[in-house]
A = this chain, B = another copy of it.
Amino acid sequence: MGAATIRDVAAKADVSVASVSRVLNGLANVSAGTRERVEQAARDLGYVPHAGARSLSMAKSHTVGVLLPDMHGEFFSELLRGMDLEANRRGYLLLFSNLHAGSSQGEAALRAMRGKVDGLVVMAPHLDEATLAQALPPSIRAVLINAPGDVRSHSNIRVDNQVGVQAVVAHLRELGRQRIAYIGGPSGNIDARERGAAFAAAAGDSALMREGDFSVESGELAIRGLLDEGAAFDAVFAANDMMALGALRGLEAAGRRVPGDIAVAGFDDVPLASYLHLTTVKVGIAELARRALGLLIDELGDPARPLTAHRHTPTLVVRQTTVGS
């Protein structure tokens, strides 16, 4: 309600608002007496500076906008966790908005954020380059996570999908697996495309590829399809953990033993993967998110800083769905 303003503090301490501002911001040029009186007054009034006014005046909000696609589960929470960690550490706040549905949603969110944030972290693996370029003018400071193509208008950081896929394929080969069935993600998703391409390149002609939509169900469906067709394969590699879980379920239902008959691997390393002993690729999404936000804050602090592009290297995590205990 009628929260105290800087004027109230100034009046109570019998000084100018300029002095109050100086004291509260820890500037040096204030006499000890003034400092003392201002601090006392501020305490008495329970004064809390109005961050909105402050940021208007300073043209700096110490807030960054986070635009994320409509995500579920652990992936999402890990992402936010990583950013929150870094935001806390560096004195920033996170203004959040989901990027559901159409790109008009995204534009609306962007408009609503102008003047409230200093920059943006945008994750948009499903947006094409043109849409992105249009919605995000270079004048807006932003760091992109897993954005498609070679966007050069903003810094970006992406998972190195190729390294991850190669590691899995090499691992399966070492185990002597001959024929790997691959369950890909939706083709509208850049990570799905990269993983699929990397797999095709690594596995060669023998590739047995099916497409899912990143859901548990689609993974199960794909496996059932393969089994029904009588396809021969001794390993399954799904483009994400959820589909790998579906595959696991489908194989179990069909009486196939894992990894005895068929080895299974996924991608992402969601917490659930460790619970189910799934061999997978650990993306380290929290760390990736932390880096993205850190990068953005660095750029905000130094506008002359050149844009950069980063690859986040994932690591293979071997568990019992490939090397059964």
Contact = CB atoms under 8 A, between A and B. Distances in A.
A104 interface: no
A137 B48 CA distance: 12
Interface in A275-300: 275
Nearest to A100: B88
Interface string A91-125: 10111111010000100001111111000000000
Contact of A84 (B1, B50, B97): B97
Size band of the interface chain A makes with B: 35 or more
Contacts of A216: 275
A45 to B, nearest CB: 12
B115 A63 contact: no
Contact of A112 (B81, B93, B275): B93
Interface string A247-262: 0010000000000000
29 contacts: A1-B139, A48-B111, A48-B114, A49-B114, A51-B112, A51-B113, A52-B52, A52-B55, A52-B115, A53-B56, A54-B115, A55-B116, A63-B116, A66-B96, A72-B77, A72-B81, A72-B271, A73-B73, A73-B74, A73-B271, A76-B77, A84-B98, A88-B105, A93-B96, A93-B97, A93-B116, A94-B95, A272-B272, A272-B275
Interface in A49-72: 49-56, 61-63, 66, 71-72
A279 to B, nearest CB: 18
Interface string A130-148: 0000000101000000000
A167 interface: no
A51 B98 contact: no
A135 to B, nearest CB: 12
Q: Which of A113, A249, A272 has the largest number of chain B CB atoms within 10 A?
A: A272
A74 B71 CA distance: 11
A93 B95 contact: yes
Interface string A30-43: 00000000000000
A115 B76 contact: no
Contacts of A53: 56, 115
